[in-house]
């Protein structure tokens, strides 16, 4: 018989969308368990019942630590890992001063692999088991990321970042090479092991209409893959888009007119929307990604999570490193809470956990594989110590329910709270 492992601890999972129904969607147990076998979740429930039903299982008892799905970081840039926390610039200056020179260095496949290894190890040490990453214009940067993820058994999503204007020499492709490279990479990687390819125009300012059209054509040939890009992050950027696409109705239209809007689209930031854009996102079923530490760090603005969720728009949560200022999805949840306060809605801990796990997975149409502890799901699991520092422990000691017990870790926790990480049923940390 295959080895079964029973993880015991406090558990939270969801039946329904926590952005819609709040904590009512959550099922919590102070003595729950998850049984894993051959890399998948095969049972979940109360620990006592699982012990009886799976007497052969090896037991790993995490006490009152919290067992969650591994975090899903729905938007980040692995090439930017070394330039996190670069001071003093807003988006366009930040791209030109820090980002583009750094992305140039990934022309070297050895460098690309080192950056991918570094980034994925940082992810795992923070309890993140899936990243959705932009690569660079260089095809070798995509190979490096997928190879590095395969070496760790991780499910990742990534694509070649296409740009054919407003970027320096050495970081530009063409409509044709963007199409050809993306297609070759998609065919090489999509569905191989746990790799998923994402068609990736960086954003409208760095793609000509011809390039957007070419990538729209590729997406029409491969509607099974996701398409990711940036939308309405800063007001200066929006003015620039208007001047580059004078006939477009708005920023979102610069994508829609080239076939780059649909259910499998994933837009990062999405802060300064026109009412028409919100309507089109809702009508088409596209997903948006909240990048709260980046939105404050680069000075972009307030993402309106509750408002977008009330329109039925799926929302993922992301670090957006290196524009974001932390690799930690705990810190990212804390920032989402703070931004929610500024936007007028306090997100419940259930909603913050949802966004970092199943919400992000739903944004990727991956909730049957990751982001949940449902039976059949891949066993990517993060275990959190809810008393990981003296400051957190003294607050945790006064908690009267599980939400109050977990919220100090959301607000103040970091990689010290990550007690164990399992990837596809294999213990990789802890
Ligand atoms: N818009 C276009 N490219 C980027 C990027 O790399 N980071 C962020 N935050 N916004 C972008
Ligand atoms: Zn980004």
Residue with the smallest CA separation from ligand 1 atom 7 is 323
> Which atom belonging to ligand 1 lies closest to the Cα atom of 91?
10
Instruction: Decide which of 327, 347, 364 is a domain's last residue.
Output: 327
Candidate from 74, 75, 77 with most ligand 1 atoms within 8 A of CB, to mutate: 77
> Which atom belonging to ligand 1 lies closest to the Cα atom of 205?
2
In this structure, is residue 118 part of a structural domain?
A: yes
In this structure, is residue 350 part of a structural domain?
A: no
Strands, E assignment, 112-164: 128-134, 156-159, 161-162
Residue 162 is part of a domain; what is its CATH number? 3.20.20.140
Q: Check pLDDT > 70 for residue 338.
A: yes
Residue 415 is part of a domain; what is its CATH number? 2.30.40.10
The per-residue pLDDT for 2 is: 85
Residue with the smallest CA separation from ligand 1 atom 1 is 230
In this structure, is residue 213 part of a structural domain?
A: yes
Q: What's the total number of domains in the chain? A: 2
Question: What value of ipTM does the predicted structure carry?
Answer: 0.99
* Kind and range of the H or E run holding 61: strand 58-69
In this structure, is residue 342 part of a structural domain?
A: no
Supply φ then ψ for residue 68, to 5 degrees: -130, 165
Task: Give the binding-site residues of ligand 1, using a 6 Å CB cut-off.
Answer: 77, 91, 95, 99, 202-203, 230, 233, 294, 298, 320, 323
In angstroms, what is the span from residue 91 Cα to ligand 1's centroid? Answer: 7
Structure tokens belonging to residue 427 = 């213990």
In this structure, is residue 79 part of a structural domain?
A: yes
> Which atom belonging to ligand 1 lies closest to the Cα atom of 77?
6
In angstroms, what is the span from residue 428 Cα to ligand 1's centroid? Answer: 31
For residues 396 and 261, state if they share a domain: no
For residues 191 and 62, state if they share a domain: no
Distances (CA, A) of 298 to 77, 270, 304: 15, 14, 17
Structure tokens belonging to residue 260 = 């780059």
pLDDT, tens only, 394-413: 999 999 999 999 999 999 99
The per-residue pLDDT for 114 is: 98
Structure tokens belonging to residue 322 = 């290196």
Q: In this structure, are strands 265-269 and 381-384 parallel, antiparallel, or unpaired?
A: unpaired
pLDDT, tens only, 109-148: 999 999 999 999 999 999 999 999 999 999 999 999 999 9
Sheet holding 40-46, edge to edge: 40-46, 26-37, 4-14, 58-69, 381-384, 418-423, 426-429
For residues 66 and 123, state if they share a domain: no
Write out the residue range of the structural domain in which residue 297 sits. 71-327
Which ligand is in closest contact with the Cα of 133?
2
The per-residue pLDDT for 392 is: 98
pLDDT, tens only, 343-378: 999 999 999 999 999 999 999 999 999 999 999 999
For residues 43 and 88, state if they share a domain: no
pLDDT, tens only, 236-286: 999 999 999 999 999 999 999 999 999 999 999 999 999 999 999 999 999
Q: Please name the residue ranges forming H helices in 190-321.
A: 209-221, 235-244, 251-256, 275-284, 292-297, 305-310
pLDDT, tens only, 204-240: 999 999 999 999 999 999 999 999 999 999 999 999 9
pLDDT, tens only, 63-122: 999 999 999 999 999 999 999 999 999 999 999 999 999 999 999 999 999 999 999 999
For residues 144 and 264, state if they share a domain: yes
Angle at 370 between CA 192 and CA 15, to 5 degrees: 150
């Amino acid at each position: 018989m295959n080895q079964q492992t029973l993880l015991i601890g406090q558990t939270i999972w969801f039946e329904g969308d926590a952005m819609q129904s709040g904590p009512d969607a959550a099922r919590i147990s102070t003595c729950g368990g998850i049984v894993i076998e051959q890399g998948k979740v095969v049972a979940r429930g109360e620990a006592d019942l699982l012990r009886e039903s799976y007497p052969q299982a090896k037991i790993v008892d995490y006490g009152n630590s919290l067992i969650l799905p591994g975090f899903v970081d729905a938007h980040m840039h692995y090439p930017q890992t070394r330039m996190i926390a670069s001071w003093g610039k807003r988006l366009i200056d930040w791209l030109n001063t820090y980002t583009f020179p750094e992305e140039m260095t990934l022309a070297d496949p050895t460098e690309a692999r080192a950056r991918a290894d570094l980034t994925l190890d940082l992810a795992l040490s923070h309890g993140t088991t899936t990243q959705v990453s932009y690569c660079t214009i260089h095809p070798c940067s995509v190979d490096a990321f997928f190879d590095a993820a395969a070496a760790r058994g991780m499910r990742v999503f990534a694509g070649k970042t296409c740009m054919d204007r407003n970027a320096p020499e050495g970081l530009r492709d063409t409509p044709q090479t963007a199409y050809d490279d993306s297609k070759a990479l998609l065919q090489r990687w999509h569905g191989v092991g746990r790799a998923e390819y994402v068609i990736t125009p960086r954003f409208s300012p760095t793609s000509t209409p011809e390039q957007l059209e070419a990538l729209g054509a590729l997406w029409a040939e491969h509607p099974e893959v996701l398409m990711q890009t940036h939308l309405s992050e800063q007001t200066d950027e929006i003015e620039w888009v208007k001047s580059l696409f004078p006939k477009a109705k708005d920023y979102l239209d610069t994508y829609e007119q080239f076939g780059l809007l649909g259910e499998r689209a994933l837009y990062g930031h999405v802060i300064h929307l026109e009412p028409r854009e919100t309507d089109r996102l809702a009508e088409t079923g596209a997903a948006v990604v909240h990048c709260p530490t980046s939105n404050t760090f680069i000075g972009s603005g307030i993402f309106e999570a509750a408002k977008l969720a009330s329109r039925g728009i799926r929302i993922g949560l992301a670090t957006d490193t290196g524009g974001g200022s932390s690799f930690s999805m705990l810190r990212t949840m804390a920032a989402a809470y703070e931004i929610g306060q500024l936007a007028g809605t306090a997100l419940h801990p259930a909603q913050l956990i949802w966004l970092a796990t199943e919400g992000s997975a739903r944004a990727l149409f991956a909730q049957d594989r990751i982001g949940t502890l449902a039976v059949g799901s891949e066993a990517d699991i993060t275990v959190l110590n809810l008393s990981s520092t003296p400051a957190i422990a003294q607050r945790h000691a006064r908690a009267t329910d599980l939400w109050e017990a977990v919220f100090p870790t959301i607000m103040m926790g970091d990689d010290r709270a990550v007690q164990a990480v399992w990837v596809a049923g294999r213990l990789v940390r802890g």
